Chain A
Amino acid sequence: DVVMTQTPVSMSVSLGGQVSISCRSSQSLVHNNGNTYLSWYIQKPSQSPQLLIYKVSNRFSGISDRFSGSGSGTDFTLKISRVEPDDLGVYYCGQGTQYPLTFGSGTKLEIK
């Protein structure tokens, strides 16, 4: 299985600040078709997970441009700029390149 390692486990940020979350995979996430199926999700308190970013850097419908994804191969980063109160929650990376599909262990974002 592809192991997804997220860091940090938790972080605290001031409103208006910027954060970066790292996700590393134990194997390359480049699919045979050339695509890299790395996604980012947020689970806000008492809500279901929501897709933020897909294929490394593509924002899902309705997602603010304050969220950006980057990376390649096995190293990926989610950046959140101008942090707002609604951004608090647990962020997950997930891979769709290889079965079984797997997720990172989550990064909890708290607002100072």
Chain B
Amino acid sequence: EVQLQESGPGLVKPSQSLSLTCSVTGYSITSNYWGWIRKFPGNKMEWIGHISYSGSTSYNPSLKSRISITRDTSKNQFFLQLNSVTTEDTATYYCARYYGYTGGFDYWGQGVMVTVSS
């Protein structure tokens, strides 16, 4: 069974960087696409970006200047770094598998709530 688990700090100060890890079990990240999505207070959901089976990345242009998604295939983990955070980055962050055949996110982590506050 494919399982994903996010980890990282729940509180980040404005202007600092947010770093999250997604640990995947039951499936190799050298197949398919592995993404980050965030849900803001309220219901708005935003795709942040993803890293492919080959290590190539796609980012949301609205965040492109501030984000980096990388991976460690030896640990079957991928990572999100979001720089220069503001209070508007306060959200629950999810990692998920994006399955190209379906065009959807079929397996999700449980999410990590990140608050940006001084």
Binds B, one of A18-26, A77-85, A98-106: A98-106
A4 to B115, CA, bound (A): 27
Interface positions of B from 88 to 109, Cβ below 8 Å from A: 94, 96, 98, 102-106, 108-109
Please tell me if the beta carbons of A100 and B60 are within 8 angstroms of each other in the complex. Answer: yes
Please tell me if the beta carbons of B104 and A48 are within 8 angstroms of each other in the complex. Answer: no
Please tell me if the beta carbons of B102 and A51 are within 8 angstroms of each other in the complex. Answer: yes
Known contacts A48-B110, A49-B108; A97/B45 CB under 8 A:
no
B34 to chain A, nearest CB (A): 13
Please tell me if the beta carbons of A103 and B45 are within 8 angstroms of each other in the complex. Answer: yes
Q: Mark A42-65, 1 if CB is under 8 A from B, else 0.
A: 010000111100110010100000
Please tell me if the beta carbons of B47 and A101 are within 8 angstroms of each other in the complex. Answer: yes
Counting contact residues on chain B (CB < 8 A from A), the size range is: 20 to 34
- 30 residue pairs of the A-B complex, CB under 8 angstroms, read A37-B102, A37-B104, A41-B104, A48-B94, A48-B108, A48-B110, A49-B94, A49-B96, A49-B105, A51-B102, A54-B104, A55-B102, A58-B102, A60-B102, A60-B104, A60-B106, A94-B45, A94-B104, A95-B103, A96-B104, A97-B103, A99-B58, A100-B60, A101-B35, A102-B47, A103-B46, A105-B43, A105-B44, A106-B45, A108-B43
A residues with a Cβ closer than 8 A to B are 31, 35, 37-39, 41, 43, 48-51, 54-55, 58, 60, 90, 92, 94-97, 99-103, 105-106, 108
